[in-house]
């Protein structure tokens, strides 16, 4: 990992149609020297969508179970033989649903308009 470098711009290479490569103009922040390097792939990794969002629900103040965001889910062992509801079907929600389906007594996946009507 190169922390002294800044990406100035990224654009498809001249031969992108056949190579799929991307050109990155990179500036060395110590020397201000700029170079262009070609890469085969680009990954934009911002964590779990930058900031987690945990919406409020009717009755969440009296719910006796645990409410967590997928950012805080690390291990399903605490959910063995429990019933779980996964709200949303983003990548993380899908991953957690699959993992919990192996150990929970029941997993319910909620998404769509009927769910959104209950979000405050």
Assigned domain for 44 exists:
no
Q: Which two tokens stand for residue 53?
A: 């969002």
Give yes or no: residues 23 and 56 share one domain. Answer: no
Residue written as token pair 């645990």: 66
Q: What is the distance of C-alpha 46 from the center of its chain?
A: 7
pTM for the model stands at 0.52
Tell me how many domains the chain contains: 2
Tens of pLDDT, residues 85-106: 887 777 888 888 889 999 988 8
Give yes or no: residues 108 and 70 share one domain. Answer: yes
Give yes or no: residues 58 and 114 share one domain. Answer: yes
Assigned domain for 46 exists:
no
The confidence band for 1, taking pLDDT boundaries of 50, 70 and 90, is very low
- Given a cut of 70, whether residue 2 has pLDDT beyond it is no
Domain assignment of residue 35, given as a range = 5-39
CB-based contacts of 28, cutoff 8 Å, min separation 6:
4, 5, 34, 35
| Sign of the CA dihedral running 74, 78, 80, 83 | negative
Assigned domain for 45 exists:
no
Q: What does the pLDDT read at residue 33?
A: 93
Give yes or no: residues 27 and 62 share one domain. Answer: no
């Amino acid at each position: 990992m190169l922390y002294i470098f800044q990406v100035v711009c990224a654009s498809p290479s001249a031969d992108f149609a056949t190579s799929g490569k991307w050109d990155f103009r990179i500036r060395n922040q110590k020397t201000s020297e700029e170079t262009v390097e070609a890469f085969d792939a680009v990954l934009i990794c911002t964590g779990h969508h930058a900031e987690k969002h945990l919406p409020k629900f009717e009755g969440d103040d009296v719910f006796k179970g645990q409410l967590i965001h997928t950012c805080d889910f690390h291990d399903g062992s605490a959910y063995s033989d429990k019933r779980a509801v996964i709200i949303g079907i983003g990548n993380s929600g899908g991953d957690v649903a699959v993992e919990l389906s192996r150990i929970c007594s029941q997993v319910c996946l909620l998404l769509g308009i009927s769910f959104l009507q209950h979000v405050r």
